[in-house]
Amino acid sequence: MIFIIMVVVILAFVALWNFDLHKVLYVKSISQNAGDSAALAGARWQAITLNLIGDLNVMQAVALTQGDTNQAAEINDMQARLCYVGPMIGLEGAQQAAKNNGIFNNSRFTARLQQHATEVFTDYRATGADGRMAFKEPYKDCWTEYAAMIEAVALGGVAVGPDNARYYSDNTGGHMLLTLDFYDAVAGADWCWFYHHAYNLLQSYVDYHTWPPLPPVIPVPDPINCEYFGLGLQRQDLIGDAEAVAMMNQAREDRSLSTVSISNSVGSMTSAWYCYDWDIWGTWDSISASGGAGFPAVGLVKPQYDYAGADVATRVMAEASRLTPGSNPNRSFLTWDRDASPPSSPASKITWTAAAKPFGYLETGSTSVKPNAYGLVIPAFREVRLIPLDASSAPVGGAFDLDWRDHIETHLAGYLESGTTKGDCWYCQQLVVWDNPGFRQTGIEWLRWNSGSCQTSGGGGGRGGGARRGH
């Protein structure tokens, strides 16, 4: 009897464990599908919006050819609105794609989006002593409408977070404590990372007094791009390029926008033309066969696709409840919601991040060139593709890694002032490890004998190789 009871108990545990394993794999699968489809949905709306803005650039050129400056001004206003409306529709489309794949609303994501809607309505519209708003409005009543759009998405429930949001008031870098890779390197004792990126800091650091002050937050002077899934555009007064006028004429014919041919004189006419911001739409350096800080590719990117720019990164967080008895295995994980009560039953927390990007090209005779070849936005985008997360613009300022945002927004100031950290914050725990002189000395000694094995790219067979994320 005792033997049979022991066998039955063991079989029961095996059955429960097998059930939990398959449930975790199932939740991982739907999380991946939801994150990928959400990224593709957002990128598709980026492509649609860029093509619409390009069409309107062409129609503005037609209006100026005919001497209709009033119509050109109305087109400018429509383009300004599209820079916000298009990406926000993409954000809503991403939510629907995630929900269609079985991911439910995330209460922390929803609360964060609702909080930002309030910030836009109050802080962005706040006027100073000179009567000017804190952030210049791209068009009349922009911040009121923008806040309403954000609130509408929040009220519908947020299932997937926009993981490359560019907030106007973000402090997005310029300090080691604002670098995610620093904390990852401390957590994994990745001495090769310190060798390539912070070797002097590893050798000279004494205590928290060594850190320089955090850089000041520099507000965006002319915010024309949406903070969520932004397009990375800028306005300029002149085209100044006869080839760009020729391309607009070709787009006008190909897309049957007008029968009026655009005059070459339009290139020297002053107006608000929507163009690519070269700080964002430069060479796609974050994906390279030569390695470096980005995602190491196995081959070269084709010239007509070798550009950065608009992309979408998404974050999905899901939970798979467990039947196997035991404490919550994820209590100390980064994805644990420390503001919520621990779940009544053990659960596995799952996070999936994904990125996608719109692609296209302009045809000039028998050759194809990048869509940003002429600076001016011209309709050119034809498809969207998933891209490696490390080749995207994520995570800008931490985006929707909410534990990271809490750390940089509320914890770092106290740490730099007194050296104290929050006990339940994963990032704060890494600072405690870093402040231990024995930890840093271990790294220095290891590098003294092994720094030659630190690779900058390549296969992940050693401590110095491989990319940080594999998708």
pLDDT of res. 326: 58
Identify the domain boundary among 368, 400, 432: 400
In a domain, 224, yes or no: no
In a domain, 40, yes or no: yes
450 CB-near residues (< 8 Å, 6+ apart): 191, 463
For residue 92, the one-letter residue type is E
pLDDT for 325 beyond 50: yes
Mean pLDDT highest for which of 76-80, 167-171, 290-294, 450-454? 76-80
Ranking 32-36, 48-52, 53-57, 396-400 by mean pLDDT, the lowest is 396-400
End-to-end CA distance of the chain: 52
pLDDT for 274 beyond 60: yes
Tell me: do 329 and 409 sit in the same domain: no
pLDDT of res. 37: 94
Tell me: do 20 and 158 sit in the same domain: yes
Identify the domain boundary among 355, 379, 400: 400
Q: Where are the alpha helices (DSSP H) in 240-373?
A: 242-254
Tell me: do 84 and 203 sit in the same domain: no
pLDDT for 35 beyond 80: yes
Q: What is the mean pLDDT of residues 245-273?
A: 89
Please give the helix or strand (H or E) that residue 359 lies within, else none. Answer: strand 347-360
Tell me: do 320 and 433 sit in the same domain: no
User: What is the residue-averaged pLDDT of the chain?
Assistant: 83
Tell me: do 296 and 439 sit in the same domain: no
pLDDT for 357 beyond 90: yes
In a domain, 217, yes or no: no
Domain ranges, residue 413:
176-211+401-471
Tell me: do 260 and 186 sit in the same domain: no
Q: What is the mean pLDDT of residues 329-355?
A: 54
Tell me: do 411 and 355 sit in the same domain: no
Tell me: do 370 and 406 sit in the same domain: no
Tell me: do 80 and 42 sit in the same domain: yes
> Strand, helix or coil at 357?
strand
| pTM, rounded to two decimals | 0.83
Annotate 193-232 with b (16+ C-beta within 10 A) or e (fewer): bbbbbbbeebeebeebeebeeeeeeeeeeebbbbbbbbbb
Here the tokens at position 187 are 């957590």
**CA separation (Å) from 142 to 72, 99, 126, 137, 228?**
20, 29, 13, 6, 15
Tell me: do 395 and 439 sit in the same domain: no
Query: Domain total for the chain?
Result: 2
Identify the domain boundary among 354, 385, 400: 400
pLDDT for 233 beyond 90: yes
Tell me: do 156 and 278 sit in the same domain: yes
**In terms of Cα–Cα distance, which of 331, 352, 337, 336 is closest to 102?**
352
Say which residue, 112 or 394, is predicted with more confidence.
112
Tell me: do 22 and 61 sit in the same domain: yes
Rounded to 10°, the helix 426-434/437-450 angle is 70
